[in-house]
Amino acid sequence: MQDRQMIIVMERNATAEQVRNVERRLTEMGFRTHLSQGVERTIIGAIGDRNSVAMGALEVLSGVERVVPILQPFKLASREFQPHNTVVKVGQAEFGSGRLQVIAGPCAVESREKYLEVARIVADLGATLLRGGAFKPRTSPYSFQGLEEEGLEILAEARQVTGLPVVSEVVDPRLVPVVAEYVDVLQIGARNMQNFFLLREVGKSSRPVILKRGPSATIEEWIMAAEYIISSGNPRVILCERGIRTFETYTRNTLDLSAVPVVKELTHLPIVVDPSHGTGKWRLVEPMSLAAVAAGCDGLMIEVHQNPAEALSDGPQSLNPVNFAHLMRSLARLTRALRDEERAEAAGARGW
């Protein structure tokens, strides 16, 4: 059997009873439904086995304006399914609302004293979320692997000290409940982008998920990975572009900033950019951060360490506090300029 996926666009004045009636009819026909209520339109997404009479039977129902098949291989993440942007709220931070979020901190939680020190620094400088790895999947088995649950306890303490939500990676489906107990956002690292058992498990969690793009993943494969999470019950997905593997060797990865507008066009999900992993060189982090914001990203993930030369993980790509402060000032200037430009364009459109 082939699948049919479609959206049912309700009329502007459709009543709640008419919407319920369409959902009831879809359920009787064997479809799973997902309701999306926008400011002007209510849209019902339907996923199920192909039925040649389904569209015709639905178009005649009261309150239905039109039935549109979803052509993309990803359905729930598709802009066709949900025209308006998804806004993922994490504490006071909102991804997808138009306000830039900055996730900052060291690659790994190295010790309680060091992490709390850098957490206070980035919070004072304007970061809106904290990052830090407790479980570190490394290329070499001899590299620092993280403090594990002790690291999670330190992250939770840092949240109490700074008031900022914390983000940390989960690497094993069995660890999802443990990590979710301590952190506010679950991160799926690049190596695990297509770990489908892990994606399903975080899909069962109520925590928001940051899904990093795999080093050799196409944009479609990346969005399909997000589809696993959403279809498992968790719509709070934030995509993260962190560079892909190309033939270039000067940088750690090739940071694909074209992915930002492409994702915005294809999906309703927010997207953040990780220029630290994307370049592997701290000197490139600020210019690529500014370029990412200009491209339209919803947030940045920046590695910051009080002494990068002594970092146990990813020191060469980490900003020290002075450089992070400079980045935050540059971001403030750029976002102000972009807002001023938007206001000027809006005023011009109204004939002011």
Q: Once rounded to an integer, what is the mean pLDDT over residues 323-338?
A: 97
**pLDDT, tens digit, for every residue of 135-159?**
866 667 666 667 889 999 999 999 9
Q: Are residues 56 and 107 in the same domain?
A: no
Q: Once rounded to an integer, what is the mean pLDDT over residues 47-65?
A: 78
Q: Are residues 28 and 144 in the same domain?
A: no
Q: Give the rounded percent of residues in the chain with a pLDDT score beyond 70.
A: 93
Q: Is residue 81 included in any domain, yes or no? A: no
Q: Are residues 215 and 181 in the same domain?
A: yes
Residue 244: both structure tokens together: 């892909």
Q: Give the rounded percent of residues in the chain with a pLDDT score beyond 90.
A: 76
Q: Are residues 161 and 22 in the same domain?
A: no
Range of the domain at 65: 3-69
- Give the residue, 351 or 66, on which the prediction is more confident: 66
Q: Are residues 203 and 270 in the same domain?
A: yes
d(CA 202, CA 178): 12
* pLDDT of 53 higher than 70: no
Into how many domains does the chain fold? Answer: 2
Query: pLDDT tier at 351 (50, 70, 90 boundaries)?
Result: low
* pLDDT of 70 higher than 70: yes
Q: Once rounded to an integer, what is the mean pLDDT over residues 100-105?
A: 98
